[in-house]
Structure 1
Amino acid sequence: MTRAVLFDLDGTLADTAQDLGGALNFVLRANGLAEKSMDEIRPVASHGANGLLKMGAGITPDHPDHAQWRQTFLDRYEECYADETVLFDGINELLRELDKRGLAWGIITNKPAKFTDKLVPQLGFAVPPAVVISGDTCGEAKPSVKPMLHACGQIGVKPEECVYLGDAERDMQAAKNAGMKAVLVNWGYIAEDDDTEAWLQDVCIDTPLDLLAVL
């Protein structure tokens, strides 16, 4: 029996790509590089600062300038994190229905708490989350199962009583390895060359309200 529905944040609950992309393009401009289009940014928006810097400038964690570039990105994102970010269509309708059914819902994201704690209250959720787990809450982020199990402990449910929605392979890995039902959201930040058929999801859905049939 399902007692809780847990969600990834970026690319699953909220469309954060515009603001993440804005921070990336700020860094690129500051270093004399061409900006990236949203078509290029969206597929990697779920991969955070490291993924965006790699896509935008080929800067990886082993690059000598990575720390500086990453800090510039984070500083800029802290200024623009909520400028254009909105919930995806249908999310609040889904949350209201979950609430009617007596199901708890929560967030498990790899986003650092310094951003999650500020962004979540501004998103206008129709029903407040029962738990919010950030990427640094447990010392390990997805695909680790630690955030998944910690969320369950916080709301008093077993992993097998949970459904987890996400848009990345690490989301599916974390959910399945924790014993949750894994749902891949096709509206998320998925690249054309992502081999989603090789991921571990139990089911894919095209809109938030499609989850109701899964439940």
Structure 2
Amino acid sequence: MNPSPAGGVPPDCVLFDLDGTLLDTAPDMTAAVNRLRQERHLPALPVAAIRPTVSHGSPGMLKAGFGLTPDDPLYAELNPRFLALYREAIAVETVLFPGMAEVLDYLEAGSIRWGVVTNKPGWLTEPLLKALDLWPRMACVVSGDTLSARKPDPEPLLYACARIGALPGRSLYVGDAERDILAGKQAGMTALVAGFGYLGAEDRPEHWNADGFLQQPSDLFAWLGGPAAPATRNR
């Protein structure tokens, strides 16, 4: 499908990473960290301090919130508590990124199937997507525990394409982390960086060998092909 972003034949399917790509989950993830900090008699942190690490799941959140790594003995104690607190209020402030609703509507109007491939575990992924009424709209959802492999391994993306009946070489994957682009490229898909997501100061997406960079969700229209694709700004 790559390298041409505009015109041509629409993709077989579009797959999205979840946190930092399809959904802005940072407010609810930050709230869970701060509830845990409150339990530990620590002051709350601003969303801006935690936002860049949200795509890295609980390891990133506990590092940002407590300076912990998975080798730290305290990590094993705090991780399940953090996840429990997050699950209790998983969709309070979480929303689609601005412009993403229009992208999904366009995909569905054009009968382009779409789905999610995330490293988030299924027991968090499913209730979150159901709370936002997205679950019945998707052609496929692959969570971090659906298979034995997780991104950056390409297997979850290949599995999703097979479930949908799409050719990887005719499909798109959008994600905001290097592992997303690595997985997409290894799967033979067109891999696009969600530049509107949770990129940290240390991230260098220009070195990820992605096929394109999306400043905002509407930039995806240029990659969807077909004469009916909405007009996009010059890239």
TM-score by length of 2: 0.87
Q: Greater relative contact order: 1 or 2 (C-alpha under 8 angstroms, separation 6 or more)?
A: 2
Q: Does 1:51 align with 2:53?
A: no
Structure 2 unaligned residues grouped into runs of 5+? 1-8, 225-235
Moved more, 35-44 or 118-127: 118-127
- What root-mean-square deviation, in Å, do the aligned CA atoms of Structure 1 and Structure 2 show? 1.5
Distance 1:127 1:103, change over 3 A: farther
Q: Does 1:114 align with 2:130?
A: no
Matches within 5 A, 1:174-213: 174-213=183-222
Q: Which amino acid aligns with 2:146?
A: T
Deviation at 1:101, TM superposition (A): 2.2
Deviation at 1:127, TM superposition (A): 7.5
CA distance in 2, matches of 1:200, 1:32: 44
Match of 2:146 in 1: 137
Matches within 5 A, 1:57-136: 57-125=66-134, 128-136=137-145
Deviation at 1:139, TM superposition (A): 1.6
Partner SS for 1:152: helix
Partner SS for 1:65: helix
CA distance in 1, matches of 2:97, 2:170: 25
Deviation at 1:126, TM superposition (A): 10
| Percent identity (aligned) | 44
Does the CA-based 8 Å contact 1:92-1:125 persist in structure 2? no
CA distance in 1, matches of 2:84, 2:135: 30
Paired residues in the alignment total: 215
Deviation at 1:64, TM superposition (A): 1.0
Match of 2:25 in 1: 16
Does the CA-based 8 Å contact 1:95-1:126 persist in structure 2? no
- Deviating above 3 A after TM superposition, structure 1's stretches of 4 or more consecutive aligned residues are 124-127
Q: Tell me which structure has the larger Cα radius of gyration.
A: 2
CA distance in 2, matches of 1:156, 1:162: 11
CA distance in 2, matches of 1:16, 1:122: 13
Q: Does 1:35 align with 2:12?
A: no
Q: Which amino acid aligns with 2:108?
A: D
Q: Which amino acid aligns with 1:59?
A: L
CA distance in 2, matches of 1:197, 1:203: 9
Q: Which amino acid aligns with 2:98?
A: D
